[in-house]
């Protein structure tokens, strides 16, 4: 009990020194008080990082861990991470991705820590001239490169940006703020234009979730050369304080950037609860549904445009494939790589749950309310998928479990759309305001 109390009360510290960003390694020095004397494992949250670490012995029983020693109740350890080789092999910000102006990576691929303990963690970066760091942590004492976070946040994971960065004005939203860090590369868009691209998605997401976990989220923005698309793709870590990496075309102009689905989809993840087990039908399915709903609500697209996009995708993907339920397809996703179908079948499930909740409550409640409640339940812990289903079943009279487990769809989605007054003609939606549930359709957008 005494050792545990020390572990909870202690402040750990990490010093990260990078002498040359393009070729040099990251030197990491750890000082972790409150640990029992003797050998202690310190582990990366990304197993691949340990392959590029040196200076400490590897744990022969755990490929993600290094072995360090505590003495007089304090662990002091030094190791280095070969960023050049690591980024060259990975090219993924979940590990390490290097671009012309810097590196995007996760903190759990940089900092190896004990797997237990909720200590606060002071992190200081010593970087070359002209190199900055952006992290979704508290700035410590106003000093450059100094932050305060927690060991738990490192284990959950946050994105970091290291390089030549252009700082944009924060976007204040309901209950929080989006912080912006742009890799400063040649591009056709202006700084105000890049920020303007994110205004509607950020405000719509802040309003939907009625705030942001931790009160803020960090958006790392990466221009992609020889590409003119507004939003290309992105990735989000949303345990604790959220962070994201968003890629957009360097050839896109200020007029090209706004209105696309990518920013709405990725920023929506910032408010979602974390699950103990990956479940694409819920996490990606709801984000895919609301990427269209929120674009229409924000005025980025008209209702007819959004029903054309949403309606056709629902028609194409609502039915299960290959005799597998949505739950099974989600579980097998990394093997099958059938991402578009699972994401959009999850979106179809979200749509049907939204309609059912509005019907049962005479328009007083919607899927919005159920998701906000789930986010509140998961504020300080990972939710089990069974908890998610139980909450959704409670709100929809059991429809959630039925849809997630069915292997054949007995209700053609076109019929459900027609009751809402959405008639699909090719890939265009024709809206009929005399349909039985036209008022319900209008309420969604």
Give the model's pLDDT for residue 9. 53
Single out the residue of 100, 175, 170 nearest to residue 134, CA to CA. 170
Assign 311 a pLDDT band (cuts: 50, 70, 90).
very high
- Provide the total of helices (H) and of strands (E) in the chain, helices listed first: 16, 20
Q: Is the pLDDT of residue 141 over 80?
A: no
Handedness of CA 43, 44, 47, 52 (dihedral sign): negative
Q: Say how far residue 277 (Cα) sits from the centre of its chain.
A: 15
pLDDT tens across 156-168, in order? 999 999 999 998 9
Q: Is the pLDDT of residue 21 over 80?
A: yes
Helix (H) or strand (E) holding 6: helix 2-9
Residue 216 to residue 202: CA distance in whole angstroms? 11
Give the pLDDT mean for 344-371. Answer: 96
Q: What are the backbone dihedrals phi and psi of residue 278, each rounded to the nearest 5 degrees, phi first?
A: -55, 135
Residue 304 to residue 310: CA distance in whole angstroms? 10
Give the model's pLDDT for residue 4. 40
Single out the residue of 240, 267, 247, 274 nearest to residue 107, CA to CA. 240
Q: In 10 A of CB 320, how many CB atoms?
A: 19
Residue 21 to residue 130: CA distance in whole angstroms? 10
pLDDT tens across 181-229, in order? 999 999 999 999 999 999 999 999 999 999 888 899 999 999 999 999 9
Give the model's pLDDT for residue 152. 92
Q: Is the pLDDT of residue 268 over 70?
A: yes
Q: What percent of the chain has pLDDT over 90?
A: 84
pLDDT tens across 281-291, in order? 999 999 999 99
Residue 208 to residue 199: CA distance in whole angstroms? 14
Q: What percent of the chain has pLDDT over 70?
A: 98
Give the pLDDT mean for 165-175. Answer: 94
Angle between helices 303-317 and 280-298 in degrees, nearest 10: 160
Residue 285 to residue 287: CA distance in whole angstroms? 5
């Amino acid at each position: 009990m005494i050792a545990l109390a020390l572990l909870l009360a202690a402040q750990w510290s990490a010093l990260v020194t990078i002498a040359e960003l393009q070729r040099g390694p990251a030197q990491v020095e750890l000082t972790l008080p409150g640990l029992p004397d003797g050998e202690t494992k310190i582990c990366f949250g990304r197993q691949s990082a340990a392959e590029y670490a040196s200076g400490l012995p590897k744990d022969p029983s755990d490929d993600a861990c290094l072995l360090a020693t505590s003495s007089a109740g304090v662990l002091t350890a030094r190791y280095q991470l070969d960023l050049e080789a690591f980024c060259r092999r990975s090219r993924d910000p979940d590990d390490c991705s290097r671009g012309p102006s810097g590196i995007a990576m996760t903190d759990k691929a940089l900092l190896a820590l004990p797997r237990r303990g909720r200590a606060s963690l002071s992190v200081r970066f010593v970087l070359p001239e002209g190199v900055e760091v952006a992290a979704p942590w508290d700035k410590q004492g106003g000093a450059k490169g100094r932050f305060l976070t927690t060991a738990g946040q490192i284990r959950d994971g946050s994105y970091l940006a290291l390089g030549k960065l252009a700082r944009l004005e924060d976007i204040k939203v309901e209950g929080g703020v989006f912080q912006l860090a742009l890799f400063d590369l040649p591009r056709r868009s202006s700084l105000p234009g890049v920020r303007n691209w994110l205004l509607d998605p950020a405000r719509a997401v802040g309003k939907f979730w009625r705030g942001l976990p931790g009160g803020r989220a960090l958006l790392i923005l990466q221009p992609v050369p020889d590409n003119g698309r507004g939003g290309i793709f992105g990735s989000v870590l949303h345990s604790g304080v959220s962070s994201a990496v968003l890629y957009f075309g360097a050839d896109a102009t200020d007029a090209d950037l706004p209105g696309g689905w990518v920013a709405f989809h990725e920023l929506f993840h910032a408010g979602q609860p974390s699950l103990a087990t990956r479940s694409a039908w819920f996490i990606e399915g709801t984000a895919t549904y609301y990427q269209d709903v929120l674009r229409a609500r924000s005025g980025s697209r008209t209702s007819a445009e959004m029903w054309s996009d949403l309606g056709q995708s629902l028609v194409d993907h609502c039915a299960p494939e290959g005799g597998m339920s949505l739950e099974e397809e989600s579980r097998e996703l990394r093997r099958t790589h059938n991402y578009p179908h699972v994401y959009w079948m999850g979106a179809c499930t979200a749509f049907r749950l939204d309609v059912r909740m509005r019907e049962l409550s005479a328009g007083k409640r919607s899927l919005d309310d159920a998701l906000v409640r789930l986010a509140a339940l998961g504020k300080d812990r990972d939710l089990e998928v069974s908890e998610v289903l139980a909450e959704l079943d409670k709100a929809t009279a059991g429809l959630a479990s039925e849809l997630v487990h069915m292997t054949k769809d007995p209700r053609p989605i076109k019929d459900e759309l027609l009751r809402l007054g959405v008639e699909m003609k090719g890939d265009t939606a024709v809206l009929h305001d005399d349909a039985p549930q036209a008022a319900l359709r209008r309420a969604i957008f």
